[in-house]
């Protein structure tokens, strides 16, 4: 009666003996292709030869000529493989991949990049994430943990680990912050200030755009990269109504170059907004004077870098009552105003969020006034009669 075949990727009885005077351990192993082969290892003693054989058998199912990774591969190699797979699958935006690549190189590589996959235990990675939180802050630590969780998910799929060890590390605590939006009175003071600031620049022969751009922030609640990506074909200037379609954003690609991405941060970000009359007039005037397809171009007619805008903004408001505001402050102002006047759903849709919880938590300033409960509270002071 024929011997029953071994179960796939298992071995038979291990035999130890000296072969030509060399301590040797050998066995039969049924590989993933169904073929049973003899596997042997040597050592200084028969016990060491068996230990060497046992180690080889544990990793044999992935040690073929096509395998890119093994349990002896490093965390750096695992992350590189995951990033390559993510790029080819188009799983992330270019800017996100760039962030992951940079964070892996700057933080994970010097930390645990040379640790082998089999050595990367839950406790080792948990200590590393906590140390990253302490040294670099929770934002960096969350990104690092996300990279490790995704990379070890790949390791799990390749059979290199029995479970996703990174997923079992403690989550990085979220930092709580209260959205702070400039008041309506402050904004009403700001716009004339910016108009005078721009006029002074123009008088000196320099280009000026802050008044118009901040006005469009307030008219749309759009993100900086969305407004700077805006081109005239996306602007519908009508006799009575002017609309802008937010359908692109600026990103810094993996090569470090500014690029116009023909979609927004999320599907909810693709939206068509109707402008209030003051902003519509501003765009009409800019359209008449435009010399290129970009609504807010740089001095060379290219897309303006967001960090240049932020630098010019800081210089404009330095030493004034507006110092400390950022372009994102106006997005928060829009969220707060619409929440109060039209409801949180209107604020969510205007800002391009898919979930109103994001609008509530990070953009709409919390209400300072509690509901008017005077009629209810008056009952404490009424007589029993």
Summarised one tens digit per residue, pLDDT across range 126-178 is 999 999 999 999 999 999 999 999 999 999 988 888 899 999 999 998 766 55
| Domain at 120, CATH number | 1.10.150.130
- Shared domain check, 86 and 52: no
**Location of structure tokens 């609008």:** 359
Q: Predicted confidence band at 82 (pLDDT cuts at 50, 70, 90)?
A: very high
Q: Please give the share of the chain, as a percent, with pLDDT higher than 90.
A: 43
Q: Are residues 243 and 353 in the same domain?
A: yes
Give yes or no: residues 121 and 252 share one domain. no
> Same structural domain for residues 341 and 312?
yes
- 82 shares a domain with 23: no
Q: What is the pLDDT of residue 254?
A: 72
Q: What pLDDT is attached to residue 151?
A: 95
195 and 273 share a domain?
yes
Q: Which two tokens stand for residue 73?
A: 């591969």
Within a domain: 8:
no
Q: 109 falls in which pLDDT band (50, 70, 90)? A: very high
User: Residue 228 in contact with residue 216, Cβ under 8 Å?
Assistant: no
Q: Looking at the domain assignment, is residue 375 inside a domain? A: no
Whole-angstrom distance, CA of residue 104 vs CA of residue 241: 48
Q: Which residues contact 236 (CB under 8 A, 6 or more apart)?
A: 242, 243, 244, 245
> Strand, helix or coil at 207?
coil
Q: Are residues 243 and 308 in the same domain?
A: yes
Structure tokens at 125: 């990675």
43 and 112: one domain? no
Cα distances (Å, whole numbers) of residue 219 to 47, 324, 335, 361: 77, 21, 11, 22
Mean pLDDT of 9-23: 89
pLDDT band with cut points at 50, 70 and 90 for residue 370: low
Alpha-carbon distance of 254 to 3, in angstroms, equals: 57
In a domain, 37, yes or no: yes
pLDDT of 369 = 56
**DSSP codes of every residue in 328-351:** HHHHHHHHHHHHHHH-HHHHHHHH
CA separation for the pair 373, 240 (Å, rounded): 43
Q: How many domains does the chain have?
A: 3
Mean pLDDT, rounded, for 120-127: 95
pLDDT of residue 177: 59
Do 262 and 283 belong together in one domain? Answer: yes
Domain that holds residue 116: 75-168
Q: What is the pLDDT of residue 176?
A: 62
Q: Contact 293/231 with Cβ under 8 angstroms?
A: yes
Average pLDDT, whole number, for the chain? 86
């Amino acid at each position: 009666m024929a011997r029953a075949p071994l179960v796939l990727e298992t071995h038979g009885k291990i035999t130890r003996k000296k072969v030509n005077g060399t301590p040797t351990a050998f066995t039969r192993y049924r590989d993933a292709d169904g073929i049973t082969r003899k596997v042997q290892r040597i050592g200084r003693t028969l016990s060491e030869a068996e230990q060497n054989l046992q180690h080889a058998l544990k990793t044999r199912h992935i040690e073929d000529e096509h395998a890119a990774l093994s349990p002896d591969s490093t965390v750096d190699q695992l992350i590189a493989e995951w990033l390559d797979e993510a790029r080819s699958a188009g799983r992330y935006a270019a800017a996100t991949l760039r962030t992951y690549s940079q964070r892996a190189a700057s933080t994970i590589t010097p930390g645990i990049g040379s640790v082998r996959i089999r050595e990367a235990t839950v406790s080792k990675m948990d200590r590393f994430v906590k140390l990253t939180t302490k040294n670099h802050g929770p934002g960096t630590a969350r990104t690092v943990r996300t990279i490790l969780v995704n990379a070890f998910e790949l390791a799990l799929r390749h059979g290199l680990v029995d479970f996703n060890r990174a997923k079992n590390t403690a989550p990085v605590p979220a930092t709580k912050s209260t959205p702070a939006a400039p008041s309506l009175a402050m904004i009403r003071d700001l716009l004339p200030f910016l108009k005078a600031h721009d006029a002074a620049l123009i008088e000196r022969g320099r280009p000026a755009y802050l008044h118009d751009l901040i006005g469009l922030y307030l008219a749309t609640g759009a993100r900086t990269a969305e407004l700077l990506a805006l081109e005239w074909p996306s602007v519908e200037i009508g006799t009575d109504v002017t609309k802008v379609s937010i359908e692109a954003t600026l990103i810094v690609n993996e090569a470090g170059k500014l690029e116009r991405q023909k979609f927004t941060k999320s599907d909810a970000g693709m939206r068509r907004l109707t402008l209030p009359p003051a902003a519509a007039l501003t765009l009409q005037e800019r359209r008449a004077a435009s010399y290129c397809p970009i609504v807010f171009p740089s001095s060379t007619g290219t897309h303006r870098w967001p960090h240049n805008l932020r630098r010019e903004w800081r210089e404009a408001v330095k030493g004034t009552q507006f110092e400390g505001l950022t372009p994102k402050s106006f997005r928060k102002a829009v969220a707060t105003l619409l929440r109060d006047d039209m409801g949180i759903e209107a604020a969510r849709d205007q800002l391009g969020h898919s979930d109103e919880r994001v609008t509530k938590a990070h953009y709409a300033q919390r209400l300072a006034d509690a509901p008017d409960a005077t009629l209810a509270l008056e009952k404490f002071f009424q007589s029993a009669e």
